Chains A and B, each alone.
Chain A
Amino acid sequence: MINKTKLFSYVLLLTVGFVFSSQSLATNGDFQNTINQLTTKNLKTKLQVVEAIIDSANSKVEFVLQSLLEGKVYYIKNNKKVVLATKEKKEYLVKELLSGNSLGKFSKHQLKKVGINNRIRQKIKAGLSMLNLKHADETVRLQAVKNTYKDINAVIFKKIETLIQVEDSDKVRDAMLVLMNIYLLNDTDSSVRIKAINDLSGNLEPIVKNKLIKLKDNDQNSEVRIEAEKALKNINSEISFFKNLETVFFGISFGSVLILAAIGLAITFGVMGVINMAHGELIMLGAYTTYVVQLLMPNNIGMSIFAAIPAAFVVSGFVGIIIQTGIIRHLHGRPLETLLATFGVSLVLRQIVRTIFSPLNRAVETPDWMSGAIEINGVLSLTWNRLYIILFCLIVFAALITILKKTSLGLQVRAVSQDRNMARAMGVRSNWVDAMTFGLGSGIAGIAGVALSQLTNVGPNLGQAYIIDSFMVVVFGGVGNLWGTLIGGFGLGVINKFMEPWVGAVLAKVLILIFIILFIQKRPRGLFPQKGRSAGD
C-alpha cells in the first residue's frame, strides 16, 4: 500500500516535471544560468543579474525575487549552484530553486547566502511591484501602484494606461490616475502639463510637491509656472494644517505615555503621600513580565500582550505590597527616610533584574496588529502602536477612577487618606488599606510597563527614564487628584511636542522643567489643588 502510493506520487511528479520542462525547457535552462550568476561577490554585477531576472519574464520570477528578499536563497560552495535553503535546527534543507526538488540536507559550511544590499532590495521591490499591479488583492495592487510613483517612466505609463481600463477598484484607479498625472507633468505639451497640475492639486504625495517645485522654477511656459505655484500654495497650506494635527497627535500620545507612567504614582504619592523612588522599577518589572509571558507563549505573540496585563499587575502589585509592608509602613510620617529607603529598593531591584536576566536589553516582540500606521494621506499617518497606547491609557484611567469612586476599597482608601484616625475609629483596617492602595498603585505601574515594553527598551534601566517624568506630571497636575494627572500629562505632552521642532529635544526637556519650576512657584499645589480638609493645611 505504502509502496503503491509512493510509486504513484513518483509517477505524478515525473509527469508534472515532464510537462513543465517540455513547455519551457530552453527558457528555464537560460533562467537557471542567469540565476547562477547570483554567486558573484560584486554587488554591482549582482544588481545587473537581478535586473536580468526581472526582465526575463519567466513564470518563476516572482518566487525567485520573493525568496531573495526573504534571504532564503543560498548557493552551494563547491559547485556554485544557486538553491533555496531553509534552516532546520543545525542543518539546512536545500531545494532546487526553480523546480523545488529536494537536494537533501547541507551543513552551514557548505552553503553561502546570496546577500543583497539596499540597492538590490529596492530593485527587487520595484520588480515585485510591477508584477503585483495585476495581483488579485486590492490592497496589494494599491501598494504596488504607490511604490511605482518614484520610478514612473514611459514603459510603466503604457502599462498603467492599459491596466486602468480593466481596474475595478476606485481606490486603485485613483492612485493610477495620480501616477499617470505625475508622468504627464513632464509632457512636452504645455496644455497637458497644466491639466496634470490641475488634476494633482491638493495631492499631498511628496513626489507631487517636488515635481511642482521643479515646474514652478524651471518651466519655459509662464502659464505652467503660474499654475504650478497656485497648486503648490494650495498643497503647502494643507501640509501645514496636517503637520499641526500630527504634532497634536504626537503630543497626546507622548502625554498618554506620561500618564501611564505617572498614574500609579498618583495613587501612591498623590493619595497616600508616600514618595516611592522605586516606582520606575515597578514599571520595569511589568515590562519584564511581558517578556517572560512572551517566552511562555512564543507562538501567540498577539495574545501574549493581553495575558501580560493581568500578570504584570499581579507581579508589580505583589512586589509593591512587600515593599509597603516590609519597609514603608515602618517609616510612616518620615518622608526623607522613605525617599532614601525606596531609592535603595530601586537599586536592589535593578541589580536583581540584572543578575537574573543579564544586563542586556531583552527583545519584546511587537504583535503585528500593533505595528505600522494608518495612512490618512501623504503627510499624516498615525502609528498603530501609539493609537493603542492612547486608548489603553484612557481605559486604565477610567478603571482606576471607577475603583476609587465606586468600590468599597476605594471608599476606604479615600477615608484613610483624608483622616486616618477617624477612619480607624470607624473600623477601617488602615494597615490593610495602606497595603492594598500601594499594591494597586504598584500594579498600575506594572501595567504601564506592559505598554512601555512596546515603545522602548526592556532593560534594567527602563524605570530610571520615567521616574522624573512621573513625579513631574503628578506635581504639575496637583497631588492627590487623578484628573489633574490626566490633564497635566496630556498638557505636558502637547507642549513638549510643539516645542521640540523649534528648540530640539534636549532643550525642550530643559524648558519644560523650568516651566514647571516657575509654575510650582505660582501654584504650589499644581493645576488642580485639593480643597478643604483633605488639603491637609
Chain B
Amino acid sequence: MKICKSINSILLVVGLLASSAAFAGDHVIKVGVLHSLSGTMAISETTLKDTMLMLIAEQNKKGGVLGKQLKAVVVDPASNWPLFAEKARGLIEKDKVDVIFGSWTSVSRKSVLPVIEELNSVFFYPVQYEGEESSKNVFYTGAAPNQQAIPAVDYLMNDIGVERWVLAGTDYVYPRTTNKILKAYLKAKGVPSSEIMINYTPFGHSDWQTIVSDIKKFGSVGKKTAVVSTINGDANVPFYKELGNQGISASDIPVVAVSVGEEEISGLDTGPLVGHLAAWNYFMSADAVENDEFIAKWKDFIKDDKRVTNDPMEAHYIGFNMWVKAVEKAGTTEPNAVQDALIGVTTPNLTGGVSAMMPNHHITKPVLIGEIQADGQFEIVSSTDGLVAGDAWSDFLPGSKDLIADWRKPLSCGNYNVKTAKCSGQNY
C-alpha cells in the first residue's frame, strides 16, 4: 500500500514535470544567446547579442516559429573561456534551449564544443575563423579562410600586382593558422620565402614603431608590397596610427585586414586609414534592398542613428533565418531533425545573393574587398563573381588536404579522409 502510494506520488510528480515541460514547450521555443557582455570581448559581442534580440523580436512579430513564440535566453560568459562551456551547459540543461547562437573567439568556441556535442544541441558560430574544424552540432556562418583571407591575397596579387608580402598577426591560434595557410598558398603560387615576412605581436600591442619601420624597410626594395593583417581588434588603432605617422600611405603599402570591420573603425580617427583594405563577406555599404531594410531595422531597434552593421551581424542574420527555415521544414526543434534539415537550406543574404548551408556545415558567401573611406564605411572595390562555399579543411595544409566534411547520411563525418577512406571521428 505504502509502496503503491509512493509510486503514485512519483507518477504524479513525473506527470506534473512532463506536463509543465509540455506546457512550456507548447508556447515558446527558447533560443540561447551566448555572447560576452562584459570583459575584453564585450566590445564586439554585445552588438551580436542585440542583433539576436532584434531578429527574435522580428520573428515573433511574424508569428514565431511553428506557431510558437521565440524566447531569448541571454547569458553572459564574461569573456572567460571556461565559463563559456559552463554557461552553454546551463543553457541546454537548465534552460532547455533548442538552439544556441554565440561565441566570438575561436578559443571560446573550442571551449563550448565538447558540451554541445555531449548534450547534442545546435550551435551557430557567426565569426570568421581559421577553419580546420567541422562538428555535427556546430554551424559555421562566418567565413572560413578560403572565403576571406585567400580571396584577399588573390585580389592583391592579381589586381594590385603585389610581389612582397607581410603577414602580420596577433599571437594566437587564428592568425597563426591563417598565416600558415596563406604561406602555403603563396608558395604554391610561386612566391619565394624571402619575399614573405611573418610577424606576430602580443594582444593589445601598442608600440608599433619598430615593426612599422621594419615593414617600411621590407617594402622599400622596389617591389609592390602589401600587408595581410590578422591583427586583432584593439591593437589595430596604434598600428594604423603609426603607419600614418611614418608616412606609409595605402597607395605605398596597402594593408588588408581580415578582422577590422565597420564596428571597429567606428572607434577610430579614420584619417590614417583611408585607402587601406578589408576583406569580408558583407559591408554595410553593400547595395542591396535586404541590406537597406536590415540597416533601417537595426538603427530603429538600437535607437541610435549612428550605429553601424558588420559582417558577423550578417552571419547571425543568415544563421537565424536558416534555423527558422530548418525548424519549419523539420516541423520540430528536435536537434537531430534540425541538424539534418539545415543542410541545403537557403536564405537571402544581405548583399543581394542567396546563401546555402553546405553538407560540411559551412555556408556559401560572396567575398568582398572594401577600401576604407573617410566616413568609416567601405567602398567595395572587388567582389567574387559568384558565392564561395566554405571549406572546413584547408586544401593548402599538408595535414588536412585530403580531408572533407559531409554530415549527410550515410557518410555523416566531419573528418573523412578521401585517400584512406576513413573517418577519424575526431572533428576538431
Q: Do A and B bind each other?
A: yes
Using CB atoms and an 8 Å cutoff, list the residues of chain A in contact with chain B. 43, 71, 113, 115-119, 121-122, 125, 206-207, 209-211, 246-247, 250, 253-254, 257, 351, 354, 358-366, 371-373, 375, 381, 383-386, 455-457, 459, 461, 464-465, 497, 500-501, 504-506, 509
Given contacts A121-B250, A351-B38, A509-B202, contact A247 B267 (CB under 8 A): no
- Candidates B43, B209, B221; contact of A361 at CB < 8 Å: B43
A250 contacts which chain B residues (CB < 8 A)?
207, 209-210, 213
Quick check: B250 and A501 within 8 Å, CB to CB?
Answer: no
Given contacts A118-B251, A359-B42, contact A461 B234 (CB under 8 A): yes
Minimum C-beta distance from A501 to chain B (A): 6
How big is the B interface, by class?
Answer: 35 or more
Minimum C-beta distance from A327 to chain B (A): 22
The 5 listed contacts between A and B (C-beta, < 8 Å) are A366-B269, A375-B247, A383-B209, A383-B242, A457-B234
- Candidates A117, A247, A365, A383; contact of B210 at CB < 8 Å: A247
B379 at the interface (CB under 8 A from A): yes
B46 at the interface (CB under 8 A from A): yes
Interface-centre pick from A253, A386, A461 (highest chain B CB count, 10 A)? A461
Q: Give the nearest-CB partner of B45 in chain A.
A: A359
Minimum C-beta distance from B407 to chain A (A): 36
Given contacts A385-B241, A455-B238, 6 further A-B contacts (CB under 8 A): A118-B251, A118-B275, A119-B160, A207-B222, A250-B210, A457-B234
- Candidates B40, B206, B275; contact of A456 at CB < 8 Å: B206
Given contacts A210-B222, A250-B213, A457-B234, contact A354 B42 (CB under 8 A): yes
Quick check: B199 and A504 within 8 Å, CB to CB?
Answer: yes
Q: Give the nearest-CB partner of A378 in chain B.
A: B220
Given contacts A247-B210, A373-B246, A506-B202, contact A206 B221 (CB under 8 A): yes
Given contacts A373-B246, A385-B245, A504-B200, contact A456 B209 (CB under 8 A): no
Minimum C-beta distance from A122 to chain B (A): 4
Minimum C-beta distance from A357 to chain B (A): 10
- Candidates B171, B210, B237; contact of A506 at CB < 8 Å: B171
Within 8 A of A (CB), among B263-287: 263, 266-269, 271-272, 275, 277
Minimum C-beta distance from A496 to chain B (A): 8
Within 8 A of A (CB), among B186-224: 199-202, 204-207, 209-211, 213-214, 220-222
Interface-centre pick from B46, B241, B245, B271 (highest chain A CB count, 10 A)? B245
Given contacts A71-B374, A456-B206, A457-B238, contact A363 B213 (CB under 8 A): no
B254 at the interface (CB under 8 A from A): yes
Quick check: A361 and B268 within 8 Å, CB to CB?
Answer: yes
Quick check: A118 and B207 within 8 Å, CB to CB?
Answer: no
B381 contacts which chain A residues (CB < 8 A)?
43, 115, 117
- Candidates A117, A363, A385, A464; contact of B269 at CB < 8 Å: A363
- Candidates B200, B220, B379; contact of A505 at CB < 8 Å: B200
B251 contacts which chain A residues (CB < 8 A)?
118, 121-122, 125
B311 at the interface (CB under 8 A from A): no
Minimum C-beta distance from A71 to chain B (A): 6
Q: Give the nearest-CB partner of A254 in chain B.
A: B207
Minimum C-beta distance from B302 to chain A (A): 11
A381 contacts which chain B residues (CB < 8 A)?
246-247
Closest 10 A-B residue pairs measured CB to CB?
A361-B267, A206-B220, A210-B222, A359-B42, A115-B379, A383-B245, A122-B251, A456-B206, A250-B209, A117-B381
B379 contacts which chain A residues (CB < 8 A)?
113, 115-117
Quick check: B244 and A371 within 8 Å, CB to CB?
Answer: yes
B238 contacts which chain A residues (CB < 8 A)?
455-457
A366 contacts which chain B residues (CB < 8 A)?
241, 269, 271
A461 contacts which chain B residues (CB < 8 A)?
40, 204, 234
A358 contacts which chain B residues (CB < 8 A)?
46
Minimum C-beta distance from B163 to chain A (A): 13
A363 CA / B371 CA spacing, docked (Å):
20
B373 at the interface (CB under 8 A from A): yes
A385 CA / B212 CA spacing, docked (Å):
15
Quick check: B245 and A118 within 8 Å, CB to CB?
Answer: no
B246 contacts which chain A residues (CB < 8 A)?
373, 381, 383
Q: Give the nearest-CB partner of A250 in chain B.
A: B209
B46 contacts which chain A residues (CB < 8 A)?
358-359
Quick check: B247 and A372 within 8 Å, CB to CB?
Answer: yes
A358 CA / B43 CA spacing, docked (Å):
8
Minimum C-beta distance from A466 to chain B (A): 9
Q: Give the nearest-CB partner of B371 in chain A.
A: A117
A360 CA / B233 CA spacing, docked (Å):
11
Given contacts A359-B43, A361-B267, contact A456 B237 (CB under 8 A): yes
Interface-centre pick from A207, A250, A386, A505 (highest chain B CB count, 10 A)? A505
A81 CA / B53 CA spacing, docked (Å):
43
Given contacts A351-B38, A365-B269, contact A457 B237 (CB under 8 A): yes
A178 CA / B159 CA spacing, docked (Å):
31
B374 contacts which chain A residues (CB < 8 A)?
71
Q: Give the nearest-CB partner of B277 in chain A.
A: A118
- Candidates B209, B267, B271; contact of A457 at CB < 8 Å: B267
Within 8 A of A (CB), among B247-268: 247, 250-251, 254, 263, 266-268
B42 contacts which chain A residues (CB < 8 A)?
354, 359
CB 8 Å contact bits of B384-416 with A (1 = contact, 0 = none):
000000000000000000000000000000000
Interface-centre pick from A354, A457, A465 (highest chain B CB count, 10 A)? A457
A504 CA / B198 CA spacing, docked (Å):
10
B245 contacts which chain A residues (CB < 8 A)?
371-373, 383-386
A385 CA / B209 CA spacing, docked (Å):
12
B272 contacts which chain A residues (CB < 8 A)?
371
A504 CA / B206 CA spacing, docked (Å):
14
A371 CA / B271 CA spacing, docked (Å):
10
- Candidates A210, A354, A497; contact of B209 at CB < 8 Å: A497
A500 CA / B214 CA spacing, docked (Å):
10
A119 CA / B379 CA spacing, docked (Å):
13
A497 contacts which chain B residues (CB < 8 A)?
209-210
Quick check: B241 and A505 within 8 Å, CB to CB?
Answer: no
Minimum C-beta distance from B303 to chain A (A): 13
Quick check: B267 and A118 within 8 Å, CB to CB?
Answer: no
Minimum C-beta distance from B53 to chain A (A): 16
